[in-house]
Amino acid sequence: MVFALALLAVSVSAQNRYYYDSDKKYGFFSNWSLSPFAQASFMNGKTAFGAGGMALKQLDDHVRFRMEASVNGITAVEGFDRNGTALAGLQFHIVDWVYLFAEGGAVVNPSMKQKSGLAASGGVGLTCNFGKYSGLMAEGGYVALQNGAKVDNMFQARIGYVIRPGITERDREAIEHDQTMRSEYGNQKEEIRLLKTDLKRQQEANDTLMAMLNKASALFAAVEKRLDECNEQVKEAESKVVDRSMFKFHFDYASIVLSETQEGRVAILAHYINTVQGRWRVDGYASPDGADYNNMVISQQRAETVCEILEANGVSPDRLVPIGNGATWEYGEDSPLNRMVVVTQIAP
């Protein structure tokens, strides 16, 4: 039981950290989850009821590392029987809510011929999520216990509550969406750069034509036509430039609620958005004091607060992309983005 409590403490203290590297790619550290559970075991016609805890580490999209510890108690005619197990293994997800598991470890039982030995287990489990950070877990399977020269088989079923202090799949999808938007914006910037280069070359050609007007008036008509073509290309390039108009809203320290003044400004912005086309990105920021994970959560909540006010004033949620960016570190406490939400048009 002490081992189980130690596992719970480790998994709760493991914070999910978020970083953004120089290659503009997102990463994740310490994606742990925690499951305290109650269980019932059946062996040799006897029923045991016990409890324990499990810590899970996400290895990839379908595999998790499991560490668990539990204690069972059996009241029988011949006396009181108790065994404790500590196991480690892997959990393989078939779909989002069904998984298989296999693990091995040690067992301690004063009633066995061999007071301690080895144990192995395997079975199937189900999960049902409640929001981002919690859910229910149910498992069933067999446990093999070393008992002197023989091996005892025990069927075990358990139900537990899952706590996820780390980033969830929904958060990961939001970040991947942000990466896609950044990539699209980068492609547009490259197209604009190429257009400006082409326009610069065309302007140089125009300058040459203007100089030739002093030598031959017969070339005037051709030069005038060329200038008209260039003007049309300039208009076409300007029509493809993304509107970078920006709106900012300030939150009080550690707050996710806007003041009445700031909320009124959001309502005015909603009226403007409803008069134009395009989608809008809503970036939330936090100040650099406090834990990274808390800053990430409060920045996301601030962005969602502004989106809710915009939606309440008639803006379609399909046109809004709320993104939490965590703390702003570039200027420390003097950063102009501290405790801000910035709304930017991202597509015409």
* Mean pLDDT score, 88-107: 90
| Total H helices, total E strands in the chain | 5, 14
- CB 127, CB 99: distance < 8 Å: yes
Q: What is the pLDDT of residues 165-196, one digit of tens each?
A: 655 556 667 777 877 888 888 888 888 999 99
Q: Which of 62, 1, 61, 73 is nearest to 36 (CA)?
A: 1
Chain-wide mean pLDDT for the chain?
Answer: 79
pLDDT of residue 331: 59
Dist. CA 301–CA 310, nearest whole Å? 14
Tokens of 319: 């046109």
Dist. CA 205–CA 208, nearest whole Å? 5
Q: What is the pLDDT of residues 262-289, one digit of tens each?
A: 999 999 999 999 998 889 999 999 988 8
Q: Compute the Cα dihedral for 293, 298, 300, 301 and give only its sign.
A: positive
Q: How many CA atoms lie within 13 A of 97 on its CB side?
A: 7
Is the model's pLDDT at 237 over the cut of 50? Answer: no
Question: Quick one: pLDDT band at residue 66, thresholds 50, 70, 90?
Answer: very high
Is the model's pLDDT at 24 over the cut of 50? Answer: no
209 or 343, which is more confident: 343
Task: Please calculate the CA angle 253-257-262 and round it to the nearest 5 degrees.
Answer: 95
* Mean pLDDT score, 220-246: 60
* Mean pLDDT score, 43-52: 84
* Mean pLDDT score, 37-46: 85
